[in-house]
Amino acid sequence: MPIRVVLAEDNYLVREGVTRLLETAPDIDVVAACDDYDSLLATVDAEQPDVVLTDIRMPPTGTDEGIRAAEHLRETHPETGVVLLSQYADPAYALSFLEKGSGRRAYLLKERVSDLDQLRNAIVEVHRGGSVIDPKVVEALVAARARAAESPITHLTPREREVLEQMAQGKNNAGIAGALTLTERAVEKHINSIFSKLGLSEEPDVHRRVKAVLLFLSAGGG
């Protein structure tokens, strides 16, 4: 029996092109195509497909609809596989997509849609319960992990990381103290220690806060 696929893609030409391509695979049946988040969820409810093939960005916001749809389907249709297509080998997107498990999930770069074998293999694999991650995405994840391992952020204590995370949210010392149930004096001591460990002890305080937050974010902390 063919694998029943619902396709979600807001670009008409891409949507039609992928549909026509998959129609040449005898073991895949594209049962419906849609162009936004709401219609995707409604179509899945109506068609009960084996696999959803979706762009990462669709209306209404054009940001992460594909990821949010995958999270929703994990709860409402756990047996439905999801193949996510993205233009970007972005570690943050990939980790968000896979954080609750990689089973029945595939993350491919959109450039792969013209390769029927790769696209078909991803659909077949997630239908079986497996996972597929684009090699370029794997490279990006490895590179991000290496950057994080080399970062001076790794020298901070857990409490100092918590303080720095609060700084990254734009809180002042009083706000940090309230959030972490500390005295402002204790927060000041933690911040001075952070500056010292990050090699930011000779700059104006405001510049040190900005640079500390940038180091935190670049190490994957936010």
Q: Is the same domain home to 184 and 164?
A: yes
Give the contacts of 124 (CB within 8 A, at least 6 positions apart): 3, 27
Q: Is the same domain home to 169 and 110?
A: no
The pair of three-digit structure tokens given for residue 143, joined into one six-digit string: 């590179």
pLDDT, tens only, 161-202:
899 988 888 889 999 999 999 999 999 999 999 988 888 877
pLDDT, tens only, 13-45:
999 999 999 999 999 999 999 999 999 999 999
Q: Is the same domain home to 37 and 67?
A: yes
| pLDDT bucket at 113, cuts 50 / 70 / 90 | confident
Domain extent for 33: 3-143
- What CATH number does residue 53 fall under? 3.40.50.2300
- What's the whole-number mean pLDDT along residues 78-87? 94
- What's the whole-number mean pLDDT along residues 85-112? 85
Among 113, 143, 173, give the residue marking a domain's end.
143
Q: How far is CA 150 from CA 143, 196, 209, in A?
A: 11, 17, 20
Q: Is the same domain home to 101 and 10?
A: yes
Hey, which residues does 132 pair with through a beta bridge?
106
- What CATH number does residue 207 fall under? 1.10.10.10
Among 95, 110, 143, give the residue marking a domain's end.
143
